Structure 1
Amino acid sequence: MDILLLTLGFACVVTGLFGSFLPILPGPSVSWVGLALLYFTKAVPANYWILGIAFLITVMISVLDYVIPAKGTKKFGGSSYGIWGTNIGLIIGILAPVPFGFIIGPFVGALIGELIYDFKDHNRALKAAAGSFAGFLASSFMKFVVCIMYLGLFVWIVWNYKSQLF
């Protein structure tokens, strides 16, 4: 049973790593589940401090994942129309069967939202859309770093308890 939990946990951590770039998968959340599965084994004693701190980091990153692209839009001169466009574009981009829709969606959504707000100022709309894209990249990078940390923590724990696991 321990080997099954170890395998499932590792699969979750690796899937979470890919999920840090693909918005379809909640990367840090899936990685955290992988860490939690590791602590369900009989060989690894439960450390609620590590799981609790990792859970809080996961919740913060998950919230920031939605906030950062909108803040990027606002930072680059976007209005609330651009922020709403970013969020709607992200959802449509995830659901649309378009390659890289999760990247294109927030950009196009912010652009359309800003053009609805002020059709005459194309430069400002383009800057706001670029801010949305920059926010998406920053958010993805943050999620990737957290998932790499969870992978490192997973490997470190397995390494320390390898004699009991195998």
Structure 2
Amino acid sequence: MEWIGWIVAIIMFIIAFIGLVYPIIPSVLFIVAGFLLYGWIVSFDELSWLFWVIQILFVILLFVADSLANLVGVKKFGGSKAGMWGSTIGLLLGPFIIPVAGILLGPFIGAVLGEVVVTRSSFKQSLKSGIGSLVGFFTSVFAKGAIMLIMILIFILFVLL
């Protein structure tokens, strides 16, 4: 049964990493699902309370990193709250409206439109905000990917040691 537990956990982890670039997939839920399914299939004996405390702290860090990356990206390039909201809305809707390219174009277009429509910023300033949203997105993907990798490595250490 142990190999089945590993296969299921690995599948959950792969789906979580797909969620880094396809934000409709809640990455953190699939990471935690991998832990829980492994425990349910194999055993929770190796997954002590210390393991769960560490993982909860990393989940919190994951949410903070995700929020801050977009905020800092747009703000650093001179964007406003309208640009941040536009970027977030574009990130969620973009992949559905423009398949594949929407993951990058959605936040960019959303930030630009947010700035132009709501704050009446110049087109040049709105483009800067859009670029900031892209920088924030890539920073977020990198940060979340690194945190998720650490979470998985901790899981492996607790299970194997």
> Pairwise CA RMSD of aligned residues?
2.3
Equivalent-residue separation in structure 2 for 1:33 and 1:43 (angstroms): 13
Distance verdict in 2 for CA 1:29–1:82, change over 3 Å: same
Counterparts in 2 of 1:108-147, with a 5 A limit?
Answer: 108-116=109-117, 117-118=119-120, 121-147=122-148
Does the CA contact (< 8 Å) of 2:12 and 2:34 recur in 1? yes
Gaps of 5+ in 1: 161-166
Does 2:29 correspond to 1:8? no
Identity %: 28
String of CA shifts for 1:94-123, please: whole Å, max 9, x gaps.
33242231221111100111122225x222
Q: Which amino acid aligns with 1:8?
A: V
Equivalent-residue separation in structure 2 for 1:2 and 1:18 (angstroms): 25
Does 2:69 correspond to 1:31? no
Q: Which amino acid aligns with 1:129?
A: G
Does the CA contact (< 8 Å) of 1:28 and 1:146 recur in 2? no
Structure 2-normalised TM-score?
A: 0.83
Gaps of 5+ in 2: none
How many residues align? The count is 159
Name the counterpart of 2:21: 21
Q: Which amino acid aligns with 2:90?
A: G
Does the CA contact (< 8 Å) of 1:32 and 1:55 recur in 2? no
Name the counterpart of 1:164: none
Q: CA deviation at 1:63?
A: 4.6
Secondary structure of residue in 2 paired with 1:20: helix
Structure 1-normalised TM-score?
A: 0.81
